[in-house]
Amino acid sequence: MVEGEDGDARPAEACRFPPPPSRLRRATSPWRGRTTTAKRATNRFRTGTFPLRSVMVKPETIVPRETHHMRLILAAVLAAAAVPAIAQAPAGLPGSPNAAAVTAGTYAVDPAHTQVTWTLNHMGFSMLSGQFGAEGGSLTIDPKRPAAAKLDVTFAINKLSTTSEQFKHHLESKDFFDAATYPTARFVSTSVVANGNRAKITGNLTIKNVTKPVTIDATFVGAGTNPMSKKLNFGFRGTAMIKRSDFGLGYALPVVADDVKLDINAAFTAQ
């Protein structure tokens, strides 16, 4: 027993000071007993002896093993499903990248679906493009002997296309193509080196009565029966680089670039 300030006797336990707040929090916390473990883990992390099993994780943050496995399976299924969608042609198209569908023979150029788009750098400010359509031509091909293929295509220079009527007339003038005198351009292949659905087609390109060798990097697009004509159609796309000055088209050099990229879409149909 001890004597209080008012002179009354009280049990000794009643006169003890309350525990520090830190002890109260430790006593009432649901994580009681883990403070020492956390401090020990921190110290061991600093010394480089920190084992993974010492990490304290709240129960609600732990993902059940079954849920984790299901997430992995779902991700794998979605990834596998996405691959065919990219590799295959869109459903409903009558053509597909199946070269075996092409039979040996001579096919006519499809003028409505054959174009050459040219692009060059205009004064370092922008890229400038225009387009030529095919006027006619043919492709003789035997899928079993692709190196023997023969391509001959004529393009209508006097029907070139641009987004500006004034620019179009300037290109047709004597400054550039002189379309009144040279209304067409022509490409005739001299060799074909095939590798699967790709090929290098080398030939002679003639513009303004000037002929230069050009190589086209071509890729087979697809083949199938056209539902409108009921005939076999197929085609390829290709790219090539030329210098316009080689063909007497050097107007405005070097202010306007000399290098010209050609993007080719070529379509052929059974006759």
pLDDT in tens, 172-214: 999 999 999 999 999 999 999 999 999 999 999 999 999 999 9
Q: How far apart are CA 67 and CA 73, in angstroms?
A: 10
Instruction: Grade residue 91 by pLDDT with cuts at 50, 70 and 90.
Output: confident
Q: How far apart are the first and last CA of the chain?
A: 121
pTM for this model (two decimals): 0.67
Looking at residue 27, its pLDDT comes to 44
pLDDT for position 35: 47
Averaged over 60-89, what is the pLDDT?
51
* Among 263, 265, 230, 226, CA closest to 119: 263
Q: What does DSSP assign to residue 96?
A: B
Q: Which of 190, 95, 197 is nearest to 143 (CA)?
A: 197
State the virtual CA torsion across 240, 241, 245, 250 in degrees, nearest 10. Answer: 90
63-77, 96-110, 185-199, 236-250, range with the lowest pLDDT: 63-77
Residue bearing the bigger pLDDT, 6 or 129: 129
Of 147, 262, 128, 255, the C-alpha closest to 207 is 262
**Selected residue with higher pLDDT from 246 and 29:** 246
72 or 180, greater pLDDT: 180
Q: What are the E-state strand segments in 31-172?
A: 105-109, 115-122, 126-141, 150-156
pLDDT at 187: 98
Q: What mean pLDDT comes out for the span 53-64?
A: 50
- Give the DSSP H or E segment for 172: helix 165-172
Residue partners of 103: CB distance under 8 A and separation at least 6: 143, 232
Is the pLDDT reported for residue 232 higher than 50? yes
Domain layout of the chain by residue ranges: 33-88, 99-270
Mean pLDDT, the chain, as a whole number? 81
What pLDDT sits at residue 54? Answer: 45
Where does residue 33 fall: left (phi above 0), alpha (psi -120 to 50 degrees), or beta otherwise? left
> Residue 9: pLDDT band by 50, 70, 90 thresholds?
low
**What's the number of CA atoms in the CB half-sphere (13 Å) around residue 268?**
25
Higher-pLDDT residue of 3 and 191 is 191
Give the residue from 100, 119, 199, 209 showing the smallest Cα distance to 162: 119
Q: Which residue has the higher pLDDT, 29 or 232?
A: 232
CATH annotation of 99-270: 2.40.128.110
